[in-house]
Structures are given as C-alpha cells and as structure tokens.
C-alpha cells in the first residue's frame, strides 16, 4: 500500500547532494519535472512507463500536497514529489549527469517586465540543468506564453551543447502516454497556442 509519506521526499539540507536512486526500490532512468503542479502529466507518464523513475518538484504547498496525494491514490511507486524551489535544488543538490529527461511545462512567465528576473530559465539555472542531464538526455519545454517561450528558445538555442530536435520525435510525444499537462489542457480548451521545443544534450567533448 503506497501512502503519501512514501511519495514525498524532503528537500535536502544545504550542501547535500542527493542520490535519486536511493528513493526507489529498483533503479531506472530518472526524469525530472519542474513545477509539476497538480501532477496530471506526471501521473500519466509514470503509469505508462513503470521502468522510469520520476521526481516532481513543486513550490506551491497546495499543489505539492495534491500531487503527492494523487500519486498515492493511484498507488504509483515510481514517482517522488518534493516541495522546494527547483532553481535551488537543480543548482545545488543534483549530482551531475543523472537526469534523462527534464520536463518543464508552462513555467511561470512573470509577464511584467520588472518581474522578468524571477523567471526560472536564465543563465545559472541553464548551466546547472545542462550539468544535471545525462549525455543524450532531453530537455522538453512547453509554454502558452509566446514572449517567455521565445526567450527560452534564445537561451537554449545559444548553447552549443544542445541540439534542437523535432518535438514529435521525442520519447514523450511519440509515445501513447502524452495526456497533456493541466495547463496545456486548460489553455488548449481556450484556443490558446501552445509552444513546444525539445533539445538533446550532445555527448560531452573530451
């Protein structure tokens, strides 16, 4: 019987680098979803890919609890959920080359110009995210906000380590398991355009 306590992992203390496989009974490729919200995407992806291991990070307490409870209700054993600031976690607590897919869907756009500095995707975070990806790993990003999405594309597009790949060739979209994220479903119903990009981390040059 899986309980909410089995799903939740606490954020590590300052200076501690985690070992994600220690959270699971058996090892497997490790995927990270940042800002998993109510966990709609995570639930579907985890259910249909029991060989994969997942961490969903969510800052908002209400959504984090909802997501963890949802995983427990579905008796999901290959997901862990952490309430923390993903920027701090990725920059300080993830070991290098451990994430096979980084899912970033509808990151908060902070539309006012004076708030742009709060956006997740910027220099130091991008460096840390690339360090955390395994060579050949994917970074999938999706947004309903054209201007933030264009900024993300610019930032990731200028990284020589990353190769832009067609979205429909990614493991996620190609499989039958793409049920959409909660925001994707909501904005699609309103007729909003959804912007998507997929990048692969090229194998490291010696």
Ligand X SMILES: C[S@@+](CC[C@H](N)C(=O)[O-])C[C@H]1O[C@@H](n2cnc3c(N)ncnc32)[C@H](O)[C@@H]1O
Give me the residues that bind ligand X (CB under 6 A), please: 34-37, 57-60, 63, 85-87, 105-106, 108, 120, 181-184
Residue nearest to ligand X (CB): 35
- CB-wise, 66 or 74, nearer to ligand X? 66
Catalytic residues: 108
Structure tokens, 96: 């290098």
Q: How far apart are CA 114 and CA 28, in angstroms?
A: 42
Taking the complex as a whole, the smallest distance from the CB of residue 205 to ligand X amounts, in Å, to 31
Tokens 């956006």 locate to 119
- CB-wise, 16 or 202, nearer to ligand X? 16
Per the CB < 8 A criterion, the answer to whether 147 and 196 are in contact is no
Taking the complex as a whole, the smallest distance from the CB of residue 37 to ligand X amounts, in Å, to 3
Q: Which residues are paired to 197 by β-bridges?
A: 141
Structure tokens, 10: 């606490």
- CB-wise, 54 or 183, nearer to ligand X? 183
Q: Which residues are paired to 34 by β-bridges?
A: 57, 104
Three-state secondary-structure class, residue 32: strand
Taking the complex as a whole, the smallest distance from the CB of residue 34 to ligand X amounts, in Å, to 6
């Amino acid at each position: 019987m899986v309980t909410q306590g089995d799903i939740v992992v606490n954020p590590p203390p300052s200076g501690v680098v985690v070992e994600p496989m220690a959270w699971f009974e058996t090892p497997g490729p490790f995927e990270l979803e940042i800002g998993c919200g109510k966990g709609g995407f995570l639930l579907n992806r985890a259910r249909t890919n029991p060989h994969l291991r997942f961490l969903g990070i969510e800052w908002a307490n209400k959504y984090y609890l909802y997501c963890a409870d949802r995983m427990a209700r579905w008796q999901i054993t290959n997901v862990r959920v952490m309430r923390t600031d993903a920027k701090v976690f990725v920059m300080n607590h993830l070991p290098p080359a451990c994430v096979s897919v980084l899912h970033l869907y509808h990151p908060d756009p902070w539309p006012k110009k004076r708030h742009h500095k709060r956006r997740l995707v910027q220099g130091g975070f991008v460096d840390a995210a690339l360090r955390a990806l395994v060579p050949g790993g994917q970074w999938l990003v999706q947004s309903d906000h054209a201007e933030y999405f264009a900024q993300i594309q610019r930032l990731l597009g200028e990284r020589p380590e990353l190769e832009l790949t067609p979205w429909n060739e990614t493991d996620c979209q190609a499989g039958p398991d793409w049920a959409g994220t909660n925001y994707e479903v909501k904005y699609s119903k309103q007729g909003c355009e959804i912007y998507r990009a997929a990048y692969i981390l090229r194998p490291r040059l010696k």
